[in-house]
Amino acid sequence: MRWEIWLAYFAACWAIAVSPGSGAVLSMSHGLSYGLRKTTTTILGLQTGLVIVLLVAGGGLGALLIASEHAFAAVKTVGALYLIYLGVQQWRARVEQEPSDANGEGKSQGGIRVAAMSPRRRFATGLLTNVTNPKGIVFMVAVLPQFIDAARPLVPQLAILAVTMCAVDLIVMHGYALLASRMQGLFRDARAMRWQNRVFGSVLMAVGAALFFVRRQPG
């Protein structure tokens, strides 16, 4: 891969990562609820999903998926419903007033205990959020070929593209999570935490609903 092509892709990765999306909303939501360290597991799930989408698009399967109206509609529906489900779960998340977090299963914030989510579930949530995002598939299929040289081996190029995108996205998602975690002090009572859950839950549901309007590329 030529240096100038990689630099252009590197710049595109920053633009993609910084633009608000379901991954950013999820990172902020978990950062505010669980803190930066625990949200790292969620972000690693997001990156795994990102790599899967990139490999699917780079390997040509993404183009086939977009070409099939029924397959694309199925992925879009699953992705939209999953984000709406996450939003409903966030809205209904249990918040309890406790003096301490003795058993270590929840996150205490000044006497507030947030319903626990296991590391495995946080990872799976991040993974499924990106894998079922049709906007990511459309974008990858549309943009990725511009940075791939057909005269060179495909696998090394995909590896470079995947590592670059994940490195940038890791930084950006951790930035979102850090920003949100710094706001934990503003949510020291149960009522404030419930409103926080409702706000992020509503945003996740809105993002999910918006996915229903994503259209496949004409082909």
> Whole-prediction pTM value?
0.75
Question: Could you list the pLDDT tens digit for every one of the 219 residues in the chain?
Answer: 788 889 998 998 898 888 878 899 899 989 988 889 999 999 999 999 999 988 887 776 656 666 677 777 777 788 778 778 877 877 777 766 555 444 444 444 445 555 668 899 999 999 999 988 877 777 777 777 778 887 888 888 889 999 999 999 999 999 999 998 887 666 566 676 677 777 777 877 887 787 777 666 555
Q: How many CB atoms lie within 10 A of CB 129?
A: 27
**Residue ranges per structural domain of the chain:** 3-211
